Amino acid sequence: MLLSTEISSLSRTLGEIPAVEMLAKAGFDAYDLSLFAMGRDVNCPFCKDDYRAYAEALRQAADRAGIVCNQAHAPFPSSVGDPEQDAVIYGQIVRSMEIAAIAGAKIIVVHPKQHLTYREPGNPERLEEMNIQFYRSLIPYCEQFGIRVAVENMWQYDPEKCRIVDSTCSKAEEFCRYIDRIGSPWIVGCLDIGHVPLVDEDLPRIIKMLGRDRLQALHVHDNNFKEDNHALPYTMRIDFAGVTQALREIGYQGDMTFEANSLCARLPAGAQLSGAKLLHDVGRSLIQAVQG
């Protein structure tokens, strides 16, 4: 099991290559290539014509540093409900799959479409049909680039109740059904650990229901059960003993990938390496707990 973490919290100030080099110094085996900026900044290097060369340079730098890219995260959202804009987003997602594959990633997380208000009658069913078609349409690109796509469990915010509520794949039964209906080894599940308690779902239950075959990737972080804090595990309310036990019980075969962005992102430049080392040490403890 590789230990990895996202690079968005470091690359915003350092750039991708220095961020990867810092994670290697901190002891990480791998990194999660954050491609969020593709949907937000047209000047992002991954949006330019020479994106393939940049991705190759990133891979070469990682090789020199002794670290690999194990997974990636596509730009999001995956849809907004406007056909013209959604076509642009789709092109960005396909490009992100190619970039991730060049960098060496074996899995890329692609958010499900959730531009409809999930709790309105009929919308869960509408979104499910949209998403089955959406993920199936990515399979040819998976085959072309040699990379699997991971569906992630999501949430939405209810402004009337002033709280986070259910969304696409937030419940175990729907998450499992999505993957089973898509019915391809190229489409797997990424369980965002932090999202689960925000929608009042039970973490050990959803892990066990997904099981070893469906669950191939993780986003690991902690929260206060009210906000998507993306905090360092063991600093808030999630029961990581229960999480690691459930992962051990299903024989989880994926990696331990952090999305605890709030740690390094809030530290001054001189303390970011120390923060990364702390994250690394916590990660090694989690892996030991899963492996027994």
Dist CA 29 CA 185 (whole Å): 25
Fold of 3-291: TIM Barrel (3.20.20)
Q: For 228-255, what is the mean pLDDT? A: 98
pLDDT at residue number 26: 97
pLDDT at residue number 275: 95
Q: Does position 264 have pLDDT exceeding 90, yes or no?
A: no
Q: Does position 31 have pLDDT exceeding 90, yes or no?
A: yes
Q: What does pLDDT average to over the chain?
A: 96
Model pTM score: 0.97
Strands (E), 97-166: 107-110, 148-152, 155-158, 163-166
Q: Does position 39 have pLDDT exceeding 90, yes or no?
A: no
Residue in 272, 259, 262, 273 with CA at minimum distance from that of residue 217: 259
Q: For 219-224, what is the mean pLDDT? A: 98
**In 15-82, alpha helices (H):** 16-26, 51-65
Residue 269: band (very low, low, confident or very high) from pLDDT cuts 50, 70, 90: confident
Phi-psi region of 258 (alpha: psi -120 to 50; beta: other; left: phi over 0): beta
Q: Does position 41 have pLDDT exceeding 90, yes or no?
A: no
Dist CA 15 CA 94 (whole Å): 23
Residue in 166, 264, 272 with CA at minimum distance from that of residue 221: 264
Dist CA 71 CA 255 (whole Å): 9
| 267, amino acid identity | L
Burial environment of residue 225 by CB neighbours within 10 A (0 to 12, 13 to 18, 19 or more): middle
Condensed to tens digits (0 to 9), the pLDDT of residues 75-123 reads 999 999 999 999 999 999 999 999 999 999 999 999 999 999 999 999 9
Q: For 31-60, what is the mean pLDDT? A: 94
pLDDT at residue number 247: 98
Identify whether the C-beta of residue 253 lies closer than 8 Å to the C-beta of residue 260. no
pLDDT at residue number 263: 87
At residue 150, what are phi and psi to the nearest 5 degrees? -110, 130
pLDDT at residue number 292: 86
